[in-house]
Amino acid sequence: MHPVRKQRLQWILLILVATSIGIGLVVYTLRQNANYFYTPSQIASGVAPLGVALRAGGMVTKGSLHRIADSLEVSFDVSDGAARLRVHFTGILPDLFAEGQAAVVTGKLDDQSIMRATQVLAKHDENYMPPEVADAMLEAYKRPDERARVDEEPYYEP
Amino acid sequence: MSPEFGHVALIVGLCLAVIQSAVPMCGTYFGAPRWMHMGRSLALGHAVFVMLAFISLTAAFLTDDFSVRYVAQHSNSLLPTQYKVSAVWSAHEGSLLLWSLVLALWSAAVAVFSKTLPLVFVARVLSVLGMIAVGFGLFILLTSNPFERTLPFPPMDGSDLNPLLQDIGLILHPPFLYMGYVGLSVPFAFAIAALLGQQFDSAWARWCRPWINIAWVFLTVGITLGSWWAYYELGWGGWWFWDPVENASLMPWLTATALVHSVAATEKRGVFRSWTLLLAIFAFSLSLLGTFLVRSGVLTSVHAFASDPERGEFILLFLCLVIGSSFLLFALRGPAIRSRTGFSGVSRETLLLVNNLILITSTAMILLGTLYPLIADALDWGKISVGPPYFNFFFVPLSLLLLASLGVSVSSRWRHTDPSGLRQKIKLPLIASILLGVLLPVPMASWYDNSGYAPSAAVTLIFTFWVLGASLHDALIKTASGNLMKLPASYWGMLCAHCGIAICALGVGLSTIYGVQRDIRMDLGDSIILAGYRFEFRDIRQFNQPNYVATQAEFAVYVGGVLERTLSPEKRHYHAGGEVMTEAGIDAGLTRDLYVSLGEPLGSSSWSVRVQVKPFVRCIWLGGLLVALGGILATADKRYRRRRSPKQLFTGSSGRASYEK
């Protein structure tokens, strides 16, 4: 082979190997650090894995927020209208966190399907609902068999 | 001025932009100088009308004209005047109008400051800018008209500006960021004009360089301001969240940084020509992508406000059109561009290539992480968010590599550097930085009551001192042999920007490693000791302001029994929107910030409180500002102001020899 061509071929091979290693590494890290979003209904039906970092969200059920005295521990429920998820969190809740408003939590599920949250995000604008929560609510609303239960949810009453 | 007047001005502006995009360009094909000359006056006229539209929207805000829906949604009669002005760009419609205004101003600046450039080239540049203006003009008028009225029953009062945005940060951050984003359209237009005219040489690079630098400076300041604003205004002490919208601004910045360097090589040595062109196209495409990500609301982000999918589709279409056509043009014309000169393995060119490689790899990595949730959603892999660990995993080592190469590059020369001389030059800063870096964390561990020696702090310090030391060492060598003033402004600009990057890295590293944070429940009279500072919760009181009620706490900070500072964090309840805001109590210092924020009331006199001590956090923004200052110095270099006859510039041959040292 012509030496110039040989050199070129070596360069191309080197670049190919380097980029494939790079892309492989990126994809691997992405999969390691990607947090999947689950709706409370999905978690109730047991689809979500336990002990893996994930995100969940819905509306904070009215009257479900409890504080544990002398600490910063709180518990509350989030609901997509069809199922509820109990969340435990230690720390400071965001300013716009409120019962009857949308929230997205990040954390791990323990063996009793309680979310041990490490982060709580609340909406930060009156008209904004995180797209995941909006989709989850819509999906739960679409399922006809659960409509009746949705209407009984206390926070839907005025 | 009535809002309708603004609406009409916007339409007239769009019409002028349509003519601006077509006539000068046609003129270049038919060889009609009159048509080409029209570009300048059209660009100025366009700017005037968009400015009128912007002024009339501002007037609607100042006069509390709540019959305009956009004003009613984002202002309130109680809002202080300065926030009424900045509320103009606080949401979608207004920020797009600002986008258009900034674009019009950049085009007008090109029209005014291009007297020495060949007419054909200017005509092409202004036409391309006109096309972008048409795209955004249509976008505003068709999908997001800020002048829409709610008649016949306008609301009595507006629903108020989001309290997060009632801040000096909002007045400054978006205009700077937009100046940067949109400023990248100028190098883009220069690149397209070069491809159309198949004229791409060192002269081109020299015309383009000041525009790239200025846009990059604005982008740098914009990002720095945004980070600083998030730090004190969001109330919890974070300065970078790897949020999609932050990434959307970082990607064009990284690409523009690569462009700033590669165009330097193109100007001085005539190398990397097609690469520079490609980077100019990339940088603007990424800033359009940023606009799409922010404005379409496809991603969950701290910047995501109520959004409308139709608008997203329009920008996506526009994005595809711009990127598709410019890459097609590049594919057709790019192969004709060849670099004539070569360079050896050890040279400034090689180091600039390494720099570009690292910056582009970082951009690609961030792009993948930012778009992965979108791709996954589209392919039904589930709803995913990519967290900070992914970005840190790649960005930190890549930045360290960049810093390492940065120290060498200062001492390198164009074309060929003698390896042994280079080794001699970098020996002293290398040894000094390693020694200092390894030793300093020993006392630092005790200053910040941290658990022992922190190897990561040693790494941060070694790299910081390495860049600072190599830069200063080089400056000393250069000034020792001659007059201080003989060195060009661009050299000082380069040193300043490089030291800025190192100082920013120092701030990032040390504030992350030695920063301490505690979330606790505190009763009145309680204290907590953190990093040698004792924070005492002394008082809590309420007071009224025109548009909010504040609950203000008082924290006394003691060092070794002596009162050091008093901090006053607040919790504000806004009347109009019923929103709650955390105003942190911050004592800023070059070597450390004391940061207290109030959580929620837990009973009668006890509160959840976040207390933080953040060493060297100010260096992050100080570094950012130094980088921007470096860019300004480099642009101020007198060689860009040297007048040449247009003919000389057109051939671009005379300039080359004198710029090779």
- Residue A1 distance to chain B (closest CA, Å): 24
In this structure, the answer to whether residues A18 and A50 fall within a common structural domain is no
Of B389, B521, B582, the CB nearest to A33: B389
Domain that holds residue A124: 37-156
Does residue B372 sit at the A interface (CB-CB below 8 Å)? yes
Of A90, A96, A106, the CB nearest to B579: A96
Does residue B369 sit at the A interface (CB-CB below 8 Å)? yes
In this structure, the answer to whether residues B39 and B143 fall within a common structural domain is yes
Does residue B345 sit at the A interface (CB-CB below 8 Å)? no
DSSP, residue by residue, B144-170:
--TT-B--SS--SS-----GGGSSHHH
Does residue B577 sit at the A interface (CB-CB below 8 Å)? yes
**Structure-block tokens of residue B47:** 């700017």
Q: A34 contacts in B (CB within 8 Å)?
A: 372-373, 376, 384-387, 390
What single-letter amino acid sits at B1? M
Of B376, B385, B519, the CB nearest to A72: B519
Pick among A47, A72, A105 to test the B interface (most B CBs inside 10 A): A72
* Contact at CB, A35 and B385, closer than 8 angstroms: yes
* Contact at CB, A70 and B579, closer than 8 angstroms: no
In this structure, the answer to whether residues A12 and A45 fall within a common structural domain is no
In this structure, the answer to whether residues A110 and A142 fall within a common structural domain is yes
Contact B127, B35 (CB under 8 A): no
Last residue of a domain, one of B463, B496, B515: B515
* Contact at CB, B368 and A30, closer than 8 angstroms: yes
In this structure, the answer to whether residues A99 and A49 fall within a common structural domain is yes
In chain A, whose CA is at the least distance from the CA of B609?
Answer: A92
DSSP, residue by residue, chain A:
--HHHHHHHHHHHHHHHHHHHHHHHHHHHHHHHEEEEE-HHHHHTT-SPTTS-EEEEEEEPTT--EE-TTSSEEEEEEE-SS-EEEEEEESPPPTT--TTSEEEEEEEE-TTS-EEEEEEEE--STT---HHHHHHHHHHHH-GGGHHHHHH-GGG--
Pick among B236, B383, B604, B610 to test the A interface (most A CBs inside 10 A): B383
Distance, CA of B52 to CA of B13 (rounded, Å): 9
Total domains in the fold of chain A: 2
Q: B297 contacts in A (CB within 8 Å)?
A: 131
In this structure, the answer to whether residues A43 and A6 fall within a common structural domain is no
In this structure, the answer to whether residues B148 and B15 fall within a common structural domain is yes
In this structure, the answer to whether residues B371 and B474 fall within a common structural domain is no
What part of B 40-59 touches A (C-beta under 8 Å)?
none
Pairing verdict, β A66-67 and A84-90: unpaired
Taking the CA atoms of B641, B646, B648 and B649 in sequence, report the sign of the dihedral they define.
Answer: positive
Does residue B354 sit at the A interface (CB-CB below 8 Å)? no
Contact B69, B147 (CB under 8 A): no
User: Which pLDDT does position B556 carry in this prediction?
Assistant: 95
What part of B 280-299 touches A (C-beta under 8 Å)?
297-298
Nearest to B426 by CA among B439, B409, B414: B409
User: Which pLDDT does position B176 carry in this prediction?
Assistant: 95
State how far the alpha carbon of B424 is from the alpha carbons of B29, B402, B418, B479, B531, in Å.
Answer: 56, 21, 10, 18, 42
In this structure, the answer to whether residues A18 and A46 fall within a common structural domain is no
* Contact at CB, A127 and B235, closer than 8 angstroms: no
In this structure, the answer to whether residues B19 and B130 fall within a common structural domain is yes
What single-letter amino acid sits at A155? Y
Pick among A71, A124, A129, A135 to test the B interface (most B CBs inside 10 A): A124
Nearest to B298 by CA among B310, B280, B282: B310
* Contact at CB, A128 and B393, closer than 8 angstroms: no
pLDDT above 60 (res A153): no
In this structure, the answer to whether residues A30 and A42 fall within a common structural domain is no
* Contact at CB, B383 and A132, closer than 8 angstroms: yes
In chain A, whose CA is at the least distance from the CA of B571?
Answer: A95
Query: How much is the average pLDDT of A96-112?
Result: 87
User: Which pLDDT does position B270 carry in this prediction?
Assistant: 84
Domain that holds residue B123: 1-161
Does residue B592 sit at the A interface (CB-CB below 8 Å)? no
Query: How much is the average pLDDT of A50-60?
Result: 88
Nearest to B107 by CA among B170, B28, B180, B20: B20
In chain A, whose CA is at the least distance from the CA of B598?
Answer: A92
In this structure, the answer to whether residues B476 and B543 fall within a common structural domain is no
User: Which pLDDT does position B647 carry in this prediction?
Assistant: 44
Which residues, other chains included, contact A33 with Cβ-Cβ below 8 Å and sequence gap of 6+? Answer: B386, B387, B389, B390, B393
Does residue B582 sit at the A interface (CB-CB below 8 Å)? yes
B244-269 and B273-296 helices cross at what angle (nearest 10)?
160
Q: A22 contacts in B (CB within 8 Å)?
A: 361
* Residue pointed to by tokens 């970005």: B391
Domain assignment present for residue B631? The answer is no
Contact B643, B225 (CB under 8 A): no
Total domains in the fold of chain B: 4
Of A22, A92, A125, the CB nearest to B306: A125
Q: A104 contacts in B (CB within 8 Å)?
A: 300
In this structure, the answer to whether residues B505 and B533 fall within a common structural domain is no
Distance, CA of B369 to CA of B244 (rounded, Å): 9
Q: A29 contacts in B (CB within 8 Å)?
A: 390, 393-394
In this structure, the answer to whether residues B261 and B302 fall within a common structural domain is yes
Does residue B162 sit at the A interface (CB-CB below 8 Å)? yes
In this structure, the answer to whether residues B473 and B596 fall within a common structural domain is no
In this structure, the answer to whether residues A30 and A49 fall within a common structural domain is no
In this structure, the answer to whether residues B137 and B73 fall within a common structural domain is yes
Does residue B368 sit at the A interface (CB-CB below 8 Å)? yes
Domain assignment present for residue B656? The answer is no
Distance, CA of B507 to CA of B514 (rounded, Å): 10
Can the peptide bond before residue B152 be classed as cis, meaning omega within 30 degrees of 0? yes
Domain assignment present for residue B645? The answer is no
* Contact at CB, B390 and A32, closer than 8 angstroms: yes
* Contact at CB, B300 and A132, closer than 8 angstroms: yes
In this structure, the answer to whether residues B407 and B426 fall within a common structural domain is no
Taking the CA atoms of B297, B371, B99 and B233 in sequence, report the sign of the dihedral they define.
Answer: positive
In this structure, the answer to whether residues A9 and A81 fall within a common structural domain is no
In chain A, whose CA is at the least distance from the CA of B301?
Answer: A130
Cα angle value B286/B289/B291 (rounded, 5°): 115
Domain assignment present for residue B556? The answer is yes
Does residue B158 sit at the A interface (CB-CB below 8 Å)? no
In this structure, the answer to whether residues B524 and B457 fall within a common structural domain is no
In this structure, the answer to whether residues A55 and A8 fall within a common structural domain is no
**Structure-block tokens of residue B79:** 């809002």
In chain B, whose CA is at the least distance from the CA of A71?
Answer: B521
Torsion of CA B271, B276, B277, B283, to 10 degrees: 180
- Residue A70 distance to chain B (closest CA, Å): 7
Distance, CA of A34 to CA of B373 (rounded, Å): 8
Residues of A with CB under 8 A from a CB of B: 22, 26, 29-30, 32-37, 55, 67, 70-72, 90-93, 95-96, 104, 106, 124-128, 130-132, 135
- Any idea what the CATH number is for the domain that residue A92 is in? 2.40.50.140
- Residue B521 distance to chain A (closest CA, Å): 6
In this structure, the answer to whether residues A20 and A80 fall within a common structural domain is no
User: Which pLDDT does position B411 carry in this prediction?
Assistant: 83
Q: B298 contacts in A (CB within 8 Å)?
A: 131
* Contact at CB, B376 and A93, closer than 8 angstroms: no
Q: A55 contacts in B (CB within 8 Å)?
A: 383, 385
User: If 0-12 CB within 10 Å is exposed, 13-18 middle and 19+ buried, where does residue A142 land?
Assistant: exposed
In this structure, the answer to whether residues A86 and A137 fall within a common structural domain is yes
Of B361, B383, B599, the CB nearest to A37: B383
Nearest to B136 by CA among B216, B50, B250: B50
Rounded mean pLDDT for each run of 10 residues along chain B, 661 residues in total: 90 97 94 92 97 96 92 88 91 90 97 91 96 94 90 81 81 92 96 89 89 96 94 84 89 97 90 91 93 71 54 84 94 78 81 93 93 84 84 94 91 83 88 94 80 88 96 88 76 94 96 91 91 91 89 93 91 82 91 91 86 94 97 88 49 35 29
In this structure, the answer to whether residues B301 and B221 fall within a common structural domain is yes
φ, ψ at B3 (rounded to 5°): -60, -30
- Residue B520 distance to chain A (closest CA, Å): 7
- Residue B55 distance to chain A (closest CA, Å): 27
Model confidence pLDDT, tens digit, residues A12-26: 999 899 889 988 888
CB half-sphere exposure, B506, CA atoms < 13 A: 27
Domain assignment present for residue B285? The answer is yes
Distance, CA of B558 to CA of A90 (rounded, Å): 28
Q: A26 contacts in B (CB within 8 Å)?
A: 365, 368, 394
B455-480 and B419-439 helices cross at what angle (nearest 10)?
140
Domain assignment present for residue B437? The answer is yes
* Contact at CB, A37 and B385, closer than 8 angstroms: yes
